[in-house]
Structure 1
Amino acid sequence: MASSSVQQQQHPPLASVINAVHFLPTKLSFKDESSNYPAWKQQMLCIIQSQGLLGFIDGTNLPPPETVADATTAAIRNPDYNIWRTIDVLLKGWILCSLNDDIVNNVLELKTSREVWLELENMFEHLSKESSTEEETEDEAEVQDLKDHYLLLYRAALQALHIAVGAGRRAIGFVKKLVPLMPKDSIAAKDANGSTALVLAAAVGNIEAAVILVNRMPSLLYIQNKFGEFPLQTAALYAQRDMLKYLISVTKDDFGQNPYAGSAGHRLLLHVIDAEFLVDIALDLVETYPALAKLKTPDNDSALEKITTKKSVFGSERRFNFWERFISLFSGATKSTKGTSLLKQQALKLVKCLCKEISSLSCMEAKGIYYDAMMLAAALGIHEVVEEIIETHPTMIYHVTSDSDQYIFHVAVENRSEHVYNLIYQMSDHKHFYSDLIDVNGNNLLHLAGKLAPSHKLNEISGAALQMQREIQWYKEVEKFVHPHTRERLNNDGKSPKMVFTEEHKILKKEGEKWMKGTANSCTIAAALIATVMFGAAITVPGGNDNSKGFPMFSGSSAFIIFAISDAVSLFTSATSLLMFLAILTSRYAEEDFLYALPKRLIIGLGTLFLSISSMRVAFSATVYLVSARKEAWVLIPSGVLACLPVASFVLLQFPLFLDLVYSTYGPGIFGKQSNRPFY
């Protein structure tokens, strides 16, 4: 009897990882003829019972013989007794740790946990009997509350493996020792979310722990949590790339529950696409399990629509800052652009594969998937998806949005998706079909171009004036495409496209005027200051004049010639810059002025101001050389370095704006044919 009960306790490490003291708010104590023994007893019983050790204190799990006879009849130490003794000492330690110091001294010499338990009963049981009926009722209620509250903690404590797995590499040694000692039903235990330890390992990317768990119990790969997620889906959900690749390598599709099939497989594909940088894995999944491309969630989400939401993957809307563009001119593609290019190629291949599989569906089913993805792509500016869908299913080009009867080019113009709008230039004569189409509100393409662009598109452009310029460029470009009679056509609100533009851009126009004047005011001060200084320097030449002849003392020096030329250049360019900024301040600020007139003046003003500052630096350095450095050459080094600060500051702060102005005003623009690929 005793031996069999010991055999049931073959996993003491599970109990040893629990520190009972952590679950007891107070220790057992005795004060003023009263004690907390009833509550303490119930809490201890909860802990002991949760660990399956109740037999050690109620007498049902008796100790085995200390020694047994071996084959030679010699007495040897009984292994069963060693296990029983180890657990009993652990239990006794729990009890002693939960006692007040005064009480511990009374039971310290007792040998077993049962002896300690019985002695405590003898010491405190009489106090419970002397309590009144009302107090007993209150104690019972308190004990029950404590039991209900702490039992949750005791059960949570059983999930030591979950905690260790979630701790990552710090606890991997503990996991290696714990897992082989645990029965498989304990390894497969679930937490409050129904997740096994392998699911947690997948979430945190703990590959070492996952390998240990899978080697011990491969069926963990096919156990779902309460959300229906396999470990495979969890790794994808948390974008754990290496973990996902490992789980794919060990998870088979011929098991009873197939993580790659049906809704589970579709969720896996959506999670992988959501992670963006896992596109290559998504492509492998679709190529291996093509049926996943044809599925939709209850919310009508498809894999094609999901990949369409990833603008950064396609790079169509990626706008590099000034310094990225500057570096790429000399170093070719940067590391980030190379990575983006590879990701884009994988995404395009995935879109092509998805469209191919969807085309095998019935016409109505295919349109249901194509429609959502195509309209979303038109709004986000992902022309690659639009092109692939139209190439696979050409009639989709005539589909309109369900709420406003807008075609893809209406959607592109309203959302300022220039890459999709530019597909018009790749079309055959079918493009004229869109030149006078209207939506449910009577708006043609020019009305939609007259509306204010979405805020996220405006924020891609620096400065309200450049934003206004871009809006006018859109209006002018669409105006060239639409049928002449539609340029003055009124919509359902009785407004022409020009009226819509003026009304919608009233605030942006004022902000552009304010931005222009603020920039001009700041630069005017700098230009005026430079002009004043350089004019004074021209009159009071370095070294003074020869009193006998009236000529400058250093007029024969090459450094003086450099000074004179640079001083003149700085003076004239600063004066020119000053005039340009004054012209900006006195402009009438009509809508058309933001297209060329105002940007041109600002370009000239900033350019001449930069030349003025650079020339001033040269003139200053030449003056320092003439006055001091001819005898002390080292003086020229610090003065020259310090003279570079204004130029460097201007380049860092204003040169990006200057280039943006030049590119936006005189550059190739954002409109035009993007490729030679025919589009319908």
Structure 2
Amino acid sequence: MQVSDDIESGERYEATKSLYKALYGESESDARHVLEECGKLSNGALHVFTLHNNTPLHKTCYIKNYDLANKLLDQLPPDFPISRLMFQNSCGNSLLHDSSTSNKGVEFITKLLTKAPGMLHQKNRWGETAAFQAVRYGRRHVFLYLVDKIDKLCACPQNGFDHLYFFQRHDKTTILHMAILTGYYEGEPWCTWSAIDNIRTQKRSQEDALELVKILVSLDTSWQKTYRKKPEVTPSINRVCTNYVNKAAEAHDIMVNETTEDENGSISYDNENGDTPLIIAATAGCIEIVEEILEQCPQAMEHLNRVGQNVLHVSLKNRNLNVFRLVLKKNLDIRGSLRVIDYHGNCILHMVGLKKLNFAAVKLKSPLLQLSDNLRLFEDVQMMCPSYLVNHRNNQKMTPFELMELNNEELRSNAKDWLRQTAEYCTAVIILIVTVTFAAAYTVPGGSDQNTGFPILIRKPFFIAFTMTDVLTLSFALTALAVFLSLLTSSYKLRSFCRSLPQKVLFGFTLLFCSVTMMMISFASTVILIFSGRKQWTKVFIYIAAFVPVFIFVVSYIPLYVKLARTLKYWFITKCLGILPLPACITAMPKDAYGFRRGGI
């Protein structure tokens, strides 16, 4: 991890810590505090104060607080160097890059380009211009504004720029690729813009090239040699950690194997694998230490380990969801943390698809519940993430869901077998119940009148109870039979294990419980009709004896039933009862090819 040389010294840490927190505040006092603190710094709002070389003005644009951004920009002296204004952080993003992620920033962008027009053609580490960033986040108004500026720039040949420079990054991905990847393409200007049509026309006019391609394809035999995809997961931790992160962890007596002292006298703690205290705590699920570190030094949110993963990646990869929720609750630069991609090309969604590294604390669950938990976690994280990460491919050329399919294939197979066995056993029980119920229906308690054919005990209250419960038993049992048969004939697609199959299992168990309960009530009613002349204590004993099988049956399956109910509780509330409907920003999200909703951050 490259740490900026401009990071403040220890004595100025307290001031910049309060500045960092105030930037994420929403009150007027927070804004005044930011303006006051930036006024004290040598470079003003362009003073580097985070691990990734961000400045207060970068952060203000990133969190879309353009009122404060305008004030910070106006606070800079008139003779402020343009080269400093065009400063790029460790990702290569300029102020224009960060402000192009929202349509609300057009006014600020106008003022920014007036001061430093060279920002228009600045590229970040991936070769993305601000216009490219606008397409990534679907910011139509910003894109149209920047395109107007780009057209004027490209109209003069002496400037040395063409449109492809602005709309294609280093890996040859164009704005059309990005628009399709993020889903922002229907009716958007980057799909109908005239320059795109010109490029498309030029490519299609190369008929000789197309003929050459046909010949080369016919001669190609490389496809006969293929390779099996094998994901490589090599967890390793960075040895670099800032002084204030380590001091916070030291207060909690973190045991380390090595201490190193640099030439400036700051001490760095790590273990033999290079684990820093924050990463160790997030990996182990030590929520108290993580909370203390982030409280003492909020800039630690940006800390990356040796493979480029932050605390969100590590906690999610190890399924320490309490730590993950804590970091989200802190609400400090969450958007930026969710967008981090590690050196293996894995985004935050890929972390859900990876297998958990430590199985010591895993509670024993059925394969169905384990797989359902993984898929629901994937769905929850996906709703938080930017939409372009849904189809992002890592270094193994795998999207998050493809990685999840690969790593959960064995679990899916086990869940499939578990479902089949459960459905078969329950089907056998249901057939037995139906057989007994039919026999009871045609063998009327007390017999029938030889003259009229009506049951002798027809006027007894418990006979009515017997009749109703017998019919209900048959209805519940046959419906449950249909549900479990549908489980046996299911296609068992991975996404079905998220809610569809658990819903069927829960519904089938509910019907089976009701069927067994009604059958025992019917049995008790029959016995009471036959022994109606007995004493009161005899009836009580009959009641108890009749419901003992029901009690044992319910107690045996209630843990699984409760877990299934918890799995589907949110779905049941939002879809069936309509008490807590999904927010409009989520219901409006399109679903991807796997049936999950795309993110919206």
Greater relative contact order structure (CA < 8 Å, 6+ sep): 2
What's the TM-score once normalised by structure 1's chain length? Answer: 0.44
